[in-house]
Chains A and B, each alone.
Chain A
Amino acid sequence: EPEVTQTPSHQVTQMGQEVILRCVPISNHLYFYWYRQILGQKVEFLVSFYNNEISEKSEIFDDQFSVERPDGSNFTLKIRSTKLEDSAMYFCASSADRDQPQHFGDGTRLSIL
């Protein structure tokens, strides 16, 4: 069964550095998402992406964050000038259409030191 893949599984970064989290969505899916889960808290929506542009974003997704689909397969989340509070598990998801279920990757655990 096709699946969403995320790399790396664990990223350790110094505070203030930039980090890029990578995702390969399911190949025929059109909608892409990023979520995060801070330890012990809810899974929170960050952003959705369709047709090469952001279709929706939450209050969390401020100017520190950006997303990109640099080629036909990858979908990336860039976090500039990381802060301690950015430490979380980041999940990528994709769906075939906006009304279809979202399929999640295994996540990237981001640790900011």
Chain B
Amino acid sequence: GDSVTQMEGPVTLSEEAFLTINCTYTATGYPSLFWYVQYPGEGLQLLLKATKADDKGSNKGFEATYRKETTSFHLEKGSVQVSDSAVYFCALSDRQAGTALIFGKGTTLSVSS
């Protein structure tokens, strides 16, 4: 079945460092891909999305490109801030399989000043 694999955390960075969180997926169809973020004590918030190959999603300085050839959707940010500290979830939705989101395990990011 469809699945999402994320790099294990936690990821600890200093402010202004470059961030990459790896995400790869397995899907039988043509999924849409998402990054959700969960700040402490809050719910899941959609950070960005991409619906087809080579699409780039971007929001709040974060970017991710849908790479069909490598089945990847890595999250990047050029300069992280302390306020970016959160748990980041990669997810997919495979229209052929239904509406359910399939999530990765989540990666905890901790940014220090």
Contacts and interface: CB of A to CB of B under 8 A. Distances in A.
A33 B99 CA distance: 9
Interface stretch (B11-19, B44-52, B60-68, B71-79): B44-52
B98 A56 contact: yes
Interface stretch (A12-20, A39-47, A63-71, A78-86): A39-47
B46 A103 contact: yes
A110 to B, nearest CB: 15
> Which size bracket describes the interface of B in this complex?
20 to 34
Contacts of A87: none
A45 B105 contact: no
Contacts of A4: 43
Given A33-B99, A98-B99, A42 B104 contact: yes
B42 interface: yes
Given A91-B43, A101-B49, A41 B99 contact: no
B105 A48 contact: no
Interface in B14-54: 32, 34, 36, 41-46, 49
Given A101-B46, A104-B36, A104-B43, 11 more contacts: A33-B99, A41-B105, A42-B104, A42-B105, A48-B99, A48-B100, A58-B100, A93-B44, A95-B99, A99-B32, A106-B43
29 contacts: A4-B43, A31-B99, A33-B99, A41-B105, A42-B104, A42-B106, A43-B91, A43-B101, A43-B106, A45-B102, A48-B100, A55-B98, A55-B99, A56-B99, A56-B100, A58-B100, A91-B43, A91-B44, A93-B44, A98-B95, A98-B99, A101-B49, A102-B46, A103-B46, A104-B43, A104-B44, A106-B42, A106-B43, A107-B43
Interface of B: 32, 34, 36, 41-46, 49, 89, 91, 95, 98-106
Interface of A: 4, 6, 31, 33, 35, 41-45, 48, 55-56, 58, 91, 93, 95, 98-99, 101-107
